Amino acid sequence: MTPGGPTPEPVDPAVYRLAMGRFASGVAVVTARLRGHDVALTVDTLTSVSLDPVLLLVSLHPEARVLEAVEDGSPLGISVLTSRQRWVAEWLGEVGRPLHDQLGRVPHHHGPATGTALVDDALATFECRTVDVREAGDHHLVLGEVVALEARPTDNGALVHYRGRLGELR
């Protein structure tokens, strides 16, 4: 029993998902290197954590190849997508992509600090070393220390995720 009232009913995960869908978020690609191959995944759960040291957090599904790579010690790359890169988000968000050559059709380069893959022409890119990985419910939280970044000027809008759909923010 909670103070001052009855115990609340458990939260329905479907209603929770619907409610969280009302929170607009940016869309990014997370990359790492697994057994000699670049692996990548579209995410909308990128969060700034700290300025001193500079830390960010990303939430990954436990079956994600990127998570496996990070747990094997790979650096993490993050590319914040423009509205013109919707196709990249869709391709790298597709379940069952092949392990090999996931970035073959995506223009990319390897970061100077860590060598991790970064999407060309992204709004911003981050190269990180992993500080911690924690299980959190049905996902894992990856805490990364930013060791290099780029935020280039652009006229492109941001790709956003809202109510289960991709859209544009100018």
Q: Tell me the pLDDT band of 96, cut-offs 50, 70 and 90.
A: confident
Domains of the chain: 24-152 (2.30.110.10)
Q: Residue 80's pLDDT is what?
A: 98
Sorting pLDDT into bands at 50, 70 and 90, what band is 156? confident
| Per-residue confidence band for 60, with pLDDT thresholds at 50, 70 and 90 | very high
pLDDT, tens digit, 9 for 90 and up, residues 11-22: 999 999 999 988
Band of the pLDDT at 2, cuts 50, 70, 90? low
Residues 6+ away with beta carbon under 8 Å from 64: 41
The β-bridge relationship of strands 158-162 and 28-34 is unpaired
Whether 120 has a pLDDT exceeding 80, the answer reads: yes
> Looking at residues 50-60, what average pLDDT do you find?
97
CA distance 59 to 52: 21
Count of Cβ atoms closer than 10 Å to residue 16 Cβ: 10
Angle at 128 between CA 106 and CA 126, to 5 degrees: 50
